[in-house]
Structure 1
Amino acid sequence: MHTLLIVDDQPDLVEDLATMLPWSTVGVGTVHKAFSAREALDIVSDRPIDLVITDIRMPGMSGLELLEQLRVSWKHIKCIVLTGYDDFAYAKEALQHQAVDYLLKPASDEEVLQAAAKAVRALEEQWSTISSHQNIMQSVQLNLSVLQAALLTELMQGRRIPEEELAARLTLLELPLCPDQPFRLMLIRLEEGLDRYGGQDIGLMEFAVANIAEEIFAEQYHLWKTKDEYNYLVAILTLKTVDTAGVRNELAEQMAAQLQHAVKLYLKGTVSILLSHWGVLATDMAQVHSDSVVQFRQHIGFERELLLSLGEEHAPVQASSLSLLYDPPTLNHLLEAGQWEQLERKLDDVFEELEQQWGHSHEHILETYYTIASSLTRSIHKSKRWMSELLGDNYQHLVGSPQFHTIAQLRDWTTAMIGKFRQAVELETIDTRSSTVRQAQQYILAHLGEASLQSIAAHVYLNPSYLSKIYKLETGEGISDYLFRLKMEQAARQLTTTHQKIYEIAAGLGYLKTSYFIKVFKEKYGLTPQEYREKLQ
């Protein structure tokens, strides 16, 4: 069911509309009330609103100004104008702000419900269009090359995608591949004549090289392209027809040489190229890419215009790095984001891999230790802390030689260190929230008459919705409820300790209509302001 906000400076009209009409018949489940445009913006900032019915002429911000604000920050809200002014200029401006309907007071219940139903239909059609399969497919088509490159990057970074999901994504992105398909990876480094470019120009050169590669390899191979974190152009080669390994290796080498020649001839530059050993798409992408980068560094290095083709003898057969330790999301990312449960699961997987595959290797225990220590050090320093203060006696493990001879010792140390860091971060979060709440309360006390959720949020530099949530989390009371309570308490004090007129007290507390102030005061204390004053005096 949809949510509706009714905005008018006449409280009785708002109450009647909110309570007397059968809103559920037009798909509205919750009705909120506001008695000024400013109050309406506070409500919209604090909770999801689908429809707004608003008057035009109200004290302070007008209904048309409210529509303009909604169009800027909450463009999906559908608005209906309900006003007593039959003015063409008003109607024209309301339509410019995309009001769904313009009703004149006094409008019948049927007219109001019909306008609301029309707005609900418009809203549902809009979201249906946004979420429709056809629209999704159009978006995919418009961004196809970007999405293809993003999926390849995920696989090269070690993201483990279930085969069924991978097959579906390959189909969606129009890649004629399957998860168990053999592939060969080609790394291309732009060199003399091309590496002098920067900014947009280097992007154009990379695009040109990729297009030439596509043209040369297209007859025999499908190409799937991206750029990796080392600034290599990467192309995944998969054969269009089944052939023997020897012939397919020769084909790729001949075409890579043609690519080097074409780049030199037409782009006036050189490239070095490495062709990897063969792997399987779903399982080997990250390892093949990692191996290829290492081989490029070792066998090509700083030399120019070289072509290296790796046979199966270059595939790793001896010592290798721990894979799960470096798979995304990395330890750095999880620590900095405070995703403690996911971090715990990742470390469990890392230690399981360490025990099963490298339990006998003290070198791999050291590799794991130094990686964890490095990530922890970086995160602690980024949080503006000193490790020596945070870790206490355990800090000595970082400055001296690590005394870990077993995986269990390393696991215990890691659990203790991350536990200390987590405790410090969570205490800081609580302190930060408490400080924000104190700042908000100080502002409210100093500006009780003009304070609103919007102005309070601006004062503490936070989004209104976020401020509302953390205030409720910290105090157990909504910030709007706190503001209302203070206003009522201040009103009660002034009624009994001063001779101010009731309309003066109302205005001083930010109530633009005295009648509304009287109404809410009576709801709070069971007496009108005048009755309250007379009783206590």
Structure 2
Amino acid sequence: MLSLLIVDDEPTIVDTLASTIDWKRIEIMTVHKAYSAREALDILADYAVDIVIVDINMPRMSGIELVAQIYRQYCHVKSVLLSGHAEFAYAQQAMSYGVSDYLLKPISDEDLIKVIAGLVKEIKEEWQEIVSRRRVVQTLKESLPALKDKLLNELLTGRIKDDALSPLLDMYDLPFQEGESVCIMVIRMEESLPEFNEQDFFLLEYAIMNIAAEMFRSSYDHWSCKDSNGCLVLMIRRKSGQEHESVSAEDRKKFDALAMQLQRNIGLYLKRVVSMIISRWGSFPEEVGLLYSGIIDHMRSKLANESGCFFSGELSDAAAVRQPLQRLYETPTLQHLLEHRRWDEYEDKLQAAIQDMKQAGNLPEEYVREAFMMVAGSFYYYAHKHHCLLSDLVGGTGLLDRNVHSVQQLSELGLYLLNKLRASDQAEQRSSKDKLMLKIREYIDRNLRTASLQTIADAVYLHPVYLSRLYKAETGEGISDYVHKQRMLRAAELLRDPSLKIYEISEDLGFKNAAYFSKVFREEFGITPNEYREQL
């Protein structure tokens, strides 16, 4: 069900429209009322509003200015302008601000209901289009390259199960089938190209993949991604008709020749040196992870000083063993997780790496020391980025100076230090929010006459929408509710002074006029200001 906001500086008009029309009949379940543009913006920041009816002629901020701001900040909101004959041409200009309709005063209830009912229908149709199958399919097509890249990375690193893979292959229109022969090709660029930015590298990688696609088109299908090591990875299958046949020595020789030609063309046309490593042919999908990890381990252990090399076929058994710390080098890195305060993901990554080490068997102590250096390094990085000493955050240098010799020691000490950092961060966050809430309330108390969501946001250097949501989450009440409550409390206090006139108190608290002040006061306390003063 939808919500409506009525804005007019004449309270009687707003109240009449809100109370006399059966809005529920046209599926408007909530009607908000505002008596100024500023009050309307406060409501828009605090509540989900679908349609706004705005009077064009209001003081301080006109209806045109209000719908212009709504158009910029809340593009989904439909606006309807109410204008007199004198402002009719002026109202027509508002169409550039996304105004859905404009109506001449006085307007009958039937005409207004007809316009709003039309907007309700329009909004429902827009949302129906958003969730329609056609829109979903179009979105999927636009996202397909990124989805394919992500899925292949998960397959290469063993993060997806076979039963979850099959439906995704069909959805992404990937021609790979269970049991057919595939090989893995990894392309590593050897030049650092310091003058290149991220966009330059993206275009270069795109050009490489275009050359590969053109060369493999006639005989092979391929599925590509960029892995966590910055390499381009292609999984290759033969075209339909021979995919389930065994790969002969002649077949391998032909493919290797084509791959060598690809390496040559990259150098010839793009002027770039690349190394290329091709696995043996194996069964899809169960051997894919082993084929890939064999190549990566081979590169790490034997190709650090090589450039422009080409390897193909069976790699040594030693190279095909997955390294126990590989998970720690995969993205997102430990530093990245701490930098973004993703504490649970950091703990999961560390626990998984520890489990890998426990399952490795005959693990040299060097691996434990390497892992602890990575973990401790990420902690130092986090502390220094926040202008702190790690020893201060974890309670001294004694823990940091300990020698770690076993996986169990690594597990206990690493998780203990992680929890120390997490507790310190949570305490800092809590303290910062408490200080912010106090600063907001102090500003409101000092500026009750002019306090609004916008002025408060400006005072604490936050966006109004974010401020409204944060305040509601921290205190359980809307910021406009707090301002209203403080104004009423202040009004009750000022009424104790008989020398102050009602209109003086009204002006002092920022109300438009004494009549509106009396109306709001009565809604709050059940009696008028004069009756309240008489009771005192």
TM superposition score normalised by structure 1: 0.86
Partner of 1:166: 165
SS in 1 for 2:80: strand
Equivalent residues of 1:46, 1:464 under 8 A apart: no
Q: Give the secondary structure class of the aligned counterpart of 2:81.
A: strand
Structure 1 residue 75, shift from structure 2 partner:
0.5
Q: Is the 8 A contact 2:181 2:284 kept in 1?
A: yes
Matches within 5 A, 1:49-448: 49-85=49-85, 87-156=87-156, 158=157, 160-178=159-177, 182-190=181-189, 198-199=196-197, 203-240=202-239, 241-242=242-243, 243-245=245-247, 246-278=249-281, 288-296=291-299, 298-313=301-316, 316=319, 320-322=323-325, 324-325=327-328, 330-358=333-361, 362-392=365-395, 395-402=397-404, 404-405=405-406, 407=408, 409-448=409-448
- Structure 1 residue 222 displacement after superposition: 1.2
Q: Is the counterpart of residue 457 in structure 1 residue 457 in structure 2?
A: yes
Partner residue in 2 for 1:519: 519
Q: CA deviation at 1:285?
A: 5.4
Q: Distance in 1 between matches of 2:367 and 2:273?
A: 39
Letter of the structure 1 residue corresponding to residue 452 of structure 2? S
Aligned counterparts of 1:492 and 1:358: Cα–Cα separation in 2 = 76
- Cα distance in 1 for partners of 2:530, 2:522 equals 10
User: How far off is 1:342 after superposition?
Assistant: 4.7
CA contact 2:185–2:276 (8 Å) conserved in 1: yes
- Whichever residue aligns with residue 275 of structure 1, its letter is I
- Distance (whole Å) between structure 1 residues aligned to residue 9 and residue 183 of structure 2: 70
1:292-339 deviations in whole A, cap 9, x for unaligned?
344335544454443111415356455722455555555444444444
Q: Secondary structure at the match of 1:100?
A: strand
Shifted more, 519-528 versus 180-189: the winner is 180-189
Q: Which amino acid aligns with 2:391?
A: S
* 2:6–2:54 CA contact under 8 A, matched in 1: yes
Mapped contact 1:433–1:470 kept (Cα < 8 A): no
SS in structure 1 at match of 2:139: helix
Equivalent position SS for 1:176 = coil
How many percent identity over aligned positions? 37
- Contact 1:26/1:117, CA 8 A, preserved across alignment: yes
1:5 and 1:51 in contact (8 A); partners too: yes
> Which 5+ residue runs of structure 2 have no aligned equivalent?
none
Letter in 1 for 2:185: M
Alpha carbons of 1:416 and 1:202: their partners in 2 closer, same or farther (altered >3 Å)? closer
Q: Is the contact between residue 293 and residue 320 of structure 2 (CA under 8 Å) also seen in structure 1?
A: no
Cα deviations by residue, 1:225-250 (Å, 9 ceiling, x for unpaired) = 34445443332222223343434432
**Paired amino acid for 1:236:** M
Measured in 2, the distance between the counterparts of 1:476 and 1:92 equals: 41
Partner of 1:488: 488
Q: Does the 8 Å contact 2:297/2:320 carry over to 1? A: no
Tell me by how many angstroms 1:181 deviates. 5.3
